[in-house]
Amino acid sequence: MTGFVARLRAAWDEQDSLACVGLDPLIERLPAHIAAHASPIFHFNKAIIDATADLVCAYKPQFAHYAACEAEDQLERTIEYIHRAYPGIPVILDAKRGDVGSTAERYAIEAFERYGADAVTVNPYLGGDSLEPFLRFEDKGVLVVCRTSNPGARDLQDLDVGGRKLFAVVAELAATRWNSRGNCLLVVGATYPQELAQIRAITGDMPFLLPGVGAQGADIGAAVAAGQSADGRGLIVSSSRAVIHASSGVDFAAAARAATLLLRDEINAARTRGHAA
């Protein structure tokens, strides 16, 4: 199997899109006619996926939204459905795992074998050996949280470590040590273009997952301009609530498509391409 980054690049090009839809459904906001299903989250996701699959480079289900309501089976079905119906679109399980060696192995088994995700988000606080059990899955992607978009990110990530901020150290560790198999990526909040540019300068063409567009109010143009790699790719720009809960009526899937289309086009307009667009 080709590696995650190669599959991601193929999806970027084939779909002409850097947009990603975050599948983080809030069970209390499901449309009434969907909530009546035996597996409401899965049916909701399936409709969203079918309405947006030609517009995205990836899907990103967020683990807690399933675990909080005992819906692991619906998470499994969602990922399995994407693989079966749209095999060219990778699935990133957003779970931000982080634990020591033997436990990290169990988390890697959970993400890659149980759920069959193509990639998973992880937390760097426990260091390189806590990431290694994930990175060892060479054809899978491991997205290390680097700089997040919440106000509290400053508490640790912005601390000065010998003239650099902690998040820059994480970016450098990712680029120089954790990416020896070419399957390490970073998670960088979309709300801070300056930090994005700094992390891009450290990491070459390493792909970044950019959450925080849509509900979290980032300026997409500024984020793409600052974060893209030299070839106008390099980003997975993810929107969740602004897409999947764009409408709570029977037209929710069409509304999700419209929101994804806008997102894709806004991203593409900001990309600096090597060829005429």
| Among residues 32, 38, 84, 160, the one that binds its own copies under rule CB under 8 A | 160
Q: How far is the CB of 201 from its own copies (least distance, A)?
A: 20
Handedness of CA 209, 212, 214, 215 (dihedral sign): positive
60 part of the active site: no
> Which tokens in the block code for residue 17?
């899109």
Touching its own copies, residues 2-41 (CB under 8 A): 24
Burial classification of residue 158, based on how many CB atoms lie within 10 Å of its CB (0-12 exposed, 13-18 middle, 19 or more buried): middle
- The contact mask relative to its own copies for 109-148 (x = CB under 8 A, - = no) is xx--xx--------xxxxxxxxx-------------x--x
Applying CB under 8 A, the span of 32-40, 97-105, 200-208, 220-228 interacting with its own copies comes to: 97-105
Site for its own copies contains 99 (CB under 8 A): yes
Q: How far is the CB of 70 from its own copies (least distance, A)?
A: 6
Contacts with its own copies: how many residues (CB under 8 A)? Answer: 51
**Cα(64)–Cα(198) distance, integer angstroms:** 30
CA distances from 71 to 40, 63, 66, 221 (A): 10, 10, 5, 36
Q: How far is the CB of 145 from its own copies (least distance, A)?
A: 6
Handedness of CA 217, 147, 26, 93 (dihedral sign): positive
> Which tokens in the block code for residue 165?
């901020």
Site for its own copies contains 176 (CB under 8 A): no
**Cα(107)–Cα(87) distance, integer angstroms:** 24
Q: How far is the CB of 52 from its own copies (least distance, A)?
A: 21
The residue ranges that bind its own copies (CB under 8 A) are 24, 62, 64-65, 67-70, 72, 96-101, 103-104, 106-107, 109-110, 113-114, 123-131, 145, 148-157, 159-162, 166, 169-170, 173
